Amino acid sequence: MNNPFLPKPARLVAVREETPNIKTFVLKPEEEFSFAAGQFAALTVPGVGEAFFTPSSSPFVKEEIEFTIMRVGRVTTALFARKEGEVLGLRGPFGKPYPLEKFIEKEVFLVGGGVGLAPLRSLFLALVAEIEKYKKVYLRYGARTPKDLVYKKELKEWAGYKKCDLLLTVDVGDATWKGRVGVVTTILDKIPCDVRNSVSVVCGPPIMMKFVTKRLLEVGFSPKDIYLSMEKNMSCAIGMCGHCRLGRYFICQDGPVLTWEQVKEIEDPFV
């Protein structure tokens, strides 16, 4: 009988610095580990503990799995001290993925903020791998400063992808920055897709998600077509402990991706 709390070994094969406090960790699981974009997993640092993250790599790549993580607590601080070659633990995947079958023949409007681009990167890579299925993919992404943008090299490459449209912004520019300046909602003044045949996926800080959702509703997106990454503090990841409850939903089981239609009646769901 499989023990859902038992992590499987995964070797840390590379670490990439994205920003001063965000790194991408590349793991090679010793056993096959498959996931779909939007699902999450528990990453264990032996002797320290585990924390939950959504993979940032393509779900079509099976040999390795990537997590882009901000250093914010005890486990992530310990993780940042780990070296290539060390063995970590991995359990999952958990939760429900993005329903890509509902995105087919539609325009997909992605909005991310800060390290919230990590789950969207996995989704973006899944979409562009089969871009013929979708009408167009838009990505709107913002960070606090140019130094805080993750995947800087990839963002330049993605801008040239077929049927993709990218627009970036930073809250505060500097001498190197020639792009838009302002919070993410400032680049949503014009939403070029046909909202009658589009879906939107939003991931980022709660306050950003709140105002992005408000803007999407203003321009006519249907509540059922706005997908939100409602990540909460999780513990068991299998719906037993109740730590991640949001209204009648358990984020670890019913989410982490929920539509605005599902959460709109919950008092301030972004807290």
pLDDT tens, residue by residue, 47-73? 999 999 999 999 999 999 999 999 998
For residue 71, give every residue at least 6 positions away whose Cβ sits within 8 Å of its Cβ, in sequence order, or none.
Answer: 21, 22, 23, 77, 79, 80
pLDDT for 235 equals 66
How many other CB atoms are found less than 10 A from the CB of residue 178? Answer: 7
Give the pTM.
0.92
Q: Which two structure tokens, joined as six digits, stand for 130?
A: 């089969």
How many other CB atoms are found less than 10 A from the CB of residue 251? Answer: 25
Reported as a pLDDT band with limits 50, 70 and 90, residue 271 is confident
> Is omega for the bond preceding 256 within 30 degrees of 0, making it cis?
yes
